[in-house]
C-alpha cells in the first residue's frame, strides 16, 4: 500500500515482541546567554534573548548575540527529551525549523523557541533511528507488526505505511532517498527464529517492494550504519564488513573486510567512502571498492568516526587528537592536540560558518567543543554540569545548534 490518511490505517495485532534490536569549561572571562538552570515546561518554550515571553517566535527570531572567542555560551533554551541513547547518530535530527529526538513520545520542537509543535506516543519501537528521505521520516512500527510508517516531520502526522511481508521479522529502516526506504529484516522460520536476514528497498510512492536481497548466513540484523549516495547504498556492520549495493536493483557491487568494527559512522565524499579502520582512515571507490588512499595514525591510536563537512573530513582519535583532512587525497590539513590528556574525544560533528562543533562520547571534560574550522584551535567547551556520563549529540539548525545530553535538549548560538 502507498500513502494514505492517518485515520484510515488499520492496526494489526503484534506478531511477537522482538528485541531491538569537565564541568562547564570557561576558557575566557565569562558566560553568555540564559542560564542552563532556567528550566522550561515540557510544552512551553524557554525565552530566547530578543524574544518576548508571549511566545511570538516571529519577533526577534535571530536577534541573539554570540559569545566572543574564548567564552563558552549558555543555552538559548532547554527542554526535557525522551532520549533513550539507543539510536546512535540517528537519535537527534533537524528538519527545517523542527528538531526531533528519538524516544517515546516522539516530539517535534521549534528550533527557535523550543516550543512543542507536535507529539506522538507509541508510534515506533525503542531506539528507532530517525531516517529521512524525500521529506518523510521513516520508522519501524511500535506494534512489531512488520509495518514501516512514514511521518511528516513538520506535523508528526502519518502520511505513509507499508510492510515487507508477514514472513519477515520487524523491518527497520536503515536509509532512505526520494525513491526508496531501505530496510533490514530477519527471515522468520517456523520456530520464530531468524538466523538469516534480508536487506530490501520499498518504493516510497507505491509502498511495494522494489527489491530484496538475502544477506549471508551469520550476518547480524543489528549494528548497521548506512547511507545513500549517487545511486548506491553503502553500509557497514559490526562484523567488520563494508558493502555497497546498487539502489535500483539491490545487486551487491562489492564487499570488503576491515580490521575493526565500525560503530556509528563512515563518511562519503564525491565517489569515495571513507571508513575508520583502527589506526588508519581508508578511502574506497564507491563504484568498485578500490582503495584510493590511507592515512595512518600513531601506533595504538585509532581513528573514530569521520564526517565530511563543507568539503573537509574531520575525525577525532583515541588519543583525543582532532584531525582535518582533504577527503580527496587523504592529506592532513591540521591536527589539534589541545585535548590530549582529556577524556573528551568528539564522536559527532557539525559546522556553522567558520566554527566546527564536536559532541563528545563521554561527559567528563567534554560536552560540545567549538574549534576554529580553518586552524583547528579550540575556542571553547560547553558543558551543562549535570554530571550525566552519557553521549552528547549536536546537529546544526540554521543559526543555532541543537545539542542533546542525557534527557536534556538545548539550543546554543552558533553564529
pLDDT, one tens digit for every residue, the chain (415 residues): 454 443 333 333 333 333 333 232 323 333 334 433 333 332 233 333 333 333 333 344 566 777 777 888 989 999 999 988 888 889 999 999 999 999 999 999 999 999 999 999 999 988 899 999 999 999 999 987 788 999 999 999 999 999 887 788 788 999 999 999 999 988 877 776 777 888 999 999 999 999 999 887 656 667 789 999 999 999 998 878 899 999 999 999 999 998 876 667 899 999 999 999 999 999 999 999 999 999 999 888 899 989 999 999 999 998 888 999 999 999 999 999 888 766 678 899 999 999 999 999 877 778 999 999 999 999 999 999 998 888 999 999 999 999 999 999 999 998 7
Contact in structure between 148 and 164 (CB atoms under 8 Å): yes
Pick from 82, 166, 165, 175: nearest CA to 124: 82
C-alpha 239: how far from chain center: 21
* Strand extents, DSSP E, 121-224: 131-133, 136-140, 147-151, 158-163, 168-176, 180-187, 197-203, 209-214
DSSP state of 216: P
DSSP code, position 195: S
The Cα angle at residue 323 between residues 231 and 352, in degrees rounded to 5: 70
Across 279-305, b (16+ Cβ under 10 Å) vs e yields bbbbbbebeeeeeebebebeeeebbbb
Average predicted confidence (pLDDT) for the chain = 82
> How open is the CA angle 313-284-245, to the nearest 5 degrees?
115
Q: Which residues pair with 283 in a beta bridge?
A: 274, 293
Q: Do residues 255 and 276 make contact, with C-beta atoms less than 8 angstroms apart?
A: no
pLDDT at 204: 95
What is the rounded distance in angstroms from the CA atom of residue 176 to the CA atom of residue 196? Answer: 23
CA proximity to 138, closest of 92, 173, 107: 173
Residue 108 CB partners (closer than 8 Å, separation 6+): 95, 98, 99, 100, 116, 117, 118, 119, 153, 154, 155, 156
Q: Quote the CA–CA distance of 60 and 76 in Å, as a whole number.
A: 13
| pLDDT digit string, tens, across residues 106-147 | 999 999 999 999 999 999 988 899 999 999 999 999 987 788
Residue 115 has, within 13 A of its CA and on its CB side, a CA count of: 14
Q: For residue 60, what are the CA distances in angstroms to 39, 154, 370? A: 21, 22, 25
Cell numbers given for 386:
549535570
Residue 331 grid cell? 592529506
Give the pTM.
Answer: 0.82
Amino acid at each position: 500500500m502507498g500513502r494514505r490518511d492517518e485515520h484510515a490505517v488499520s492496526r494489526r495485532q503484534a506478531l511477537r515482541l522482538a528485541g531491538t534490536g569537565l564541568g562547564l569549561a570557561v576558557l575566557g572571562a565569562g558566560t553568555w546567554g540564559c542560564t542552563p538552570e532556567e528550566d522550561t515546561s515540557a510544552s512551553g518554550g524557554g525565552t530566547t534573548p530578543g524574544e518576548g515571553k508571549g511566545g511570538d517566535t516571529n519577533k526577534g527570531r535571530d536577534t541573539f548575540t554570540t559569545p566572543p572567542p574564548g567564552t563558552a555560551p549558555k543555552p538559548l533554551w532547554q527542554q526535557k527529551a525522551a532520549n533513550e541513547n539507543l539510536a546512535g547518530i540517528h537519535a537527534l535530527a533537524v528538519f527545517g525549523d523542527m528538531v526531533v529526538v528519538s524516544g517515546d513520545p516522539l516530539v517535534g520542537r521549534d528550533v527557535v523557541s523550543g516550543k512543542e509543535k507536535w507529539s506522538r506516543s507509541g508510534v515506533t519501537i525503542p531506539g528507532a533511528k530517525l531516517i529521512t528521505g524525500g521529506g518523510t521520516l521513516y520508522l519501524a512500527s511500535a506494534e512489531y507488526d512488520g509495518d514501516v510508517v512514514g511521518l511528516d516531520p513538520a506535523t508528526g502526522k502519518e502520511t505513509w505505511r507499508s510492510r515487507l511481508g508477514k514472513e519477515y521479522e520487524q523491518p527497520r529502516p536503515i536509509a532512505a532517498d526520494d525513491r526508496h526506504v531501505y530496510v533490514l529484516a530477519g527471515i522468520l522460520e517456523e520456530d520464530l527464529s531468524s538466523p538469516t536476514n534480508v536487506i530490501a528497498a520499498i518504493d516510497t510512492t507505491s509502498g511495494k517492494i522494489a527489491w530484496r536481497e538475502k544477506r549471508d548466513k551469520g550476518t547480524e540484523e543489528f549494528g548497521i550504519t548506512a547511507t545513500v549516495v549517487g545511486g548506491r547504498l553503502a553500509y557497514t556492520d559490526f562484523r567488520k564488513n563494508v558493502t555497497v549495493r546498487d539502489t535500483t536493483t539491490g545487486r551487491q557491487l562489492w564487499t570488503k573486510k576491515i580490521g575493526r568494527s565500525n560503530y556509528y559512522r563512515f563518511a562519503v565524499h564525491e565517489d569515495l567512502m571513507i571508513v575508520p579502520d583502527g589506526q588508519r582512515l581508508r578511502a574506497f571507490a564507491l563504484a568498485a571498492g578500490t582503495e584510493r588512499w590511507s592515512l595512518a595514525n600513531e601506533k595504538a591510536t585509532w581513528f573514530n568516526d569521520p564526517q565530511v563537512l563543507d568539503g573537509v573530513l574531520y575525525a577525532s582519535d583515541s588519543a583525543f587528537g582532532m584531525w582535518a583532512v582533504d577527503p580527496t587525497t587523504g592529506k592532513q590539513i591540521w591536527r589539534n592536540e589541545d585535548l590530549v590528556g582529556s577524556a573528551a574525544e568528539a564522536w559527532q560533528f557539525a559546522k556553522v560558518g567558520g566554527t566546527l562543533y564536536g559532541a563528545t562520547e563521554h561527559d567528563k571534560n567534554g560536552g560540545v567543543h567549538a574549534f576554529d574550522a580553518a586552524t583547528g584551535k579550540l575556542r571553547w567547551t560547553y558543558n551543562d554540569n549535570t554530571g550525566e556520563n552519557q553521549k552528547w549529540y549536536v546537529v546544526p539548525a540554521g543559526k543555532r545548534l541543537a545539542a542533546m545530553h542525557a534527557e536534556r535538549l538545548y539550543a546554543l548560538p552558533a553564529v
